[in-house]
Amino acid sequence: MVAGVFDGRVFTPFPPVKHTFYAELRPISGDFVPEAAAVSGLDRERLVREGRDPVEAMSEAGRWVRARAREAKALPVFAAYPLGFDWLFMYWYFMRFAEGGSPFGHARALDMKTLYAARAGAKIGDSVKGKMPPGLLSARPHTHHALDDAVEQAELLQNLMVWDGSR
């Protein structure tokens, strides 16, 4: 998912569904939390049978990210709300499985929760989507499907990047 390009002064948004990458990975162990898998709607047994090899999928994802960054003439930055949840998984999987490691390095990441708190003058604990101005949030339904969630987060980032901080 490519949300846009920021040159340090101007943010240029891209249509959030224009550049997407999605892959379902084969589980790497028998350890998992059934309740977490149930939220996403993923079927673990199907992923065991049909999921992509993590080395293949993460290497392809890394190449995809690097190609989009070259097209934009920018370094890729991983953005998420909250960052810690998605970064932990993605960074570890890129470093463990992808040829070339993480396309985001070890520190090119942006926490949209912190961005909102700074722009709104709000405490981190109060920087929850339920307290954000509705115009910042995506109008898309929250499905817990990874690609849908990425599009939803891209729209939040786009809105935060151009928001003047007013309510």
For every residue of the chain, which 3-state class applies, written as one string? CCCEEECCCCEEECCCCCCCCCCCECCCCCCCCHHHHHHHCCCHHHHHHHCECHHHHHHHHHHHHHHHHHHHCCCCCEEECCHHHHHHHHHHHHHHHCCCCCCCCCCCEEEHHHHHHHHHCCCHHHCCHHHCCHHHCCCCCCCCCHHHHHHHHHHHHHHHHHCCCCC
Res 94: pLDDT: 98
Res 16: pLDDT: 83
Res 86: pLDDT: 92
92-129: per-residue pLDDT in tens? 999 999 999 999 999 999 999 999 999 999 999 999 99
Residue 31, domain CATH? 3.30.420.10
User: Is residue 43 a part of any domain in this protein?
Assistant: yes
User: Is residue 35 a part of any domain in this protein?
Assistant: yes
pLDDT over 90 (residue 167): no
Residue-range definition of the domain harbouring residue 17: 4-162
Confidence grade of residue 36 (pLDDT, cut at 50, 70, 90)? confident
User: Is residue 167 a part of any domain in this protein?
Assistant: no
Res 99: pLDDT: 97
pLDDT, averaged across the chain: 94
pLDDT over 90 (residue 165): no
Q: pTM score, two decimals?
A: 0.91
Total structural domains within the chain: 1
User: Is residue 27 a part of any domain in this protein?
Assistant: yes
47-103: per-residue pLDDT in tens? 999 999 999 999 999 999 999 999 999 999 999 999 998 999 999 999 999 999 999
pLDDT over 90 (residue 41): no
